[in-house]
Amino acid sequence: MTPYSLLFDHGFARIDPEVAHHLGFRGLRAAAPVLKGIDRVVGAGQPVEALGLTFPNVLGMAAGFDKNAVGIDALGALGFGHVEIGTVTGEGQPGNPTPRLFRLTDDRAVVNRMGFNNDGAEVVAQRLARRAAAQVRAGRDDSDHESPPRTILGTNIGKTKVVPDDDQAAVEADYEKSARLLAPHADYLVVNVSSPNTPGLRNLQSVEKLQPLLEHVRRTADEAADLAGRSTRVPLLVKIAPDLADEDVLAVADMALAIGLDGIVATNTTTSREGLRSPSREVDAIGAGGLSGRPLASRSLEVLRMLKQRVGADLTLVGVGGITTVQDAQDRLDAGADLLQGYTAFIYEGPLWPRRVLRGLG
């Protein structure tokens, strides 16, 4: 048992999960200057070429941890080669009522129904602009996207809750606002249509709705990048749910190839509760929400394999969902993932987890 495991079991596990997240993240940001010094000395992983970018290593922090772009560099200093912020929506919103984040410790899993709580695209864009300006003053110009920053920045965008999913024009306008404001600051952009916690969002995964949405976001991102003076296009990916039927996974893959998408993030959280070790009364008491962590690993790996067989080397595939051990990470790479992401394992395994995984991968 590691020191962090003792701290988690006897400390964080007794605190409300959302409160513990904010406390832990605040401490991480406060320690950022020290962490950056360690990062320069120790380093982590080998560079990876993907999406036309050079990633410091293969492992990133998944969307959901840093919703508002307040700790990108601190997370990078822990060893994450990229950080995907968000999900950011066109308008700021408080998310669902609390409690909305729950642990299933017997399964090393988390259930959340956060509901895209975030500051909104305008505020986050301003924050990213200030970060870029500060890095220029420090002598590192992240506006030059041919020489990407030490920590690659992904930006995950989603639908504002009040926008009806059956109004395609309103949905496209909502995503357009986020893409227009955020694309100039992002190394890559992800369209999230797969969270189970925004009513109607997963309906947008049908190819009939998804294709025009992605094409609209692509045009908007290109226009925004041009206006910002970027010399390269912003890679665009879509994040899908593990709960899609196999034929729908393949349909999304075919559509992504057809419209020239850059990649797919597989997968988001699941609504399934099958095969859990936690007592059913505990699971039932938690109620609705997306499940992440170890129980998701098998299906997420299965979806990744299907995608790889369908798209070959034509798309960048990001494997996420239930990655905990070095073997989990290696399994995703062997199945065809170009990049990996974690979140729930970071909660249970602690701040040394990303470097342990990267050292194990060699």
Residues identified as active-site: 195
Q: Is 233 annotated as a binding residue?
A: no
Provide the residue count of the chain. 362
DSSP 3-state assignment of 234?
coil
Q: Is 63 annotated as a binding residue?
A: yes
Q: Which residue has the tokens 């394992």?
A: 345
Q: Which residues contact 118 (CB under 8 A, 6 or more apart)?
A: 67, 68, 86, 87, 88, 89, 92, 93, 95, 124
Q: Is 203 annotated as a binding residue?
A: no
Q: Is 343 annotated as a binding residue?
A: yes
Residue 120, beta-bridge partner list:
none
Count CA atoms within 13 Å of residue 32 on its CB side: 11
Query: H helices of the chain, where?
Result: 3-10, 17-30, 32-42, 72-77, 121-137, 168-182, 207-227, 246-259, 280-286, 297-311, 326-335, 344-349, 353-361
Q: Is 192 annotated as a binding residue?
A: yes
Q: Is 116 annotated as a binding residue?
A: yes
Q: Is 65 annotated as a binding residue?
A: yes
Give the distance, in angstroms, between the CA of residue 321 and the centroid of all CA atoms in the same chain. Answer: 10
Q: Is 43 annotated as a binding residue?
A: no
Q: Is 197 annotated as a binding residue?
A: yes
Q: Is 344 annotated as a binding residue?
A: yes
- Residue list, annotated binding site for substrate: 67, 112-116, 192, 197, 268-269
- Residue list, annotated binding site for FMN: 63-67, 87, 156, 192, 239, 267, 293, 322, 343-344
- Residue list, annotated binding site: 63-67, 87, 112-116, 156, 192, 197, 239, 267-269, 293, 322, 343-344
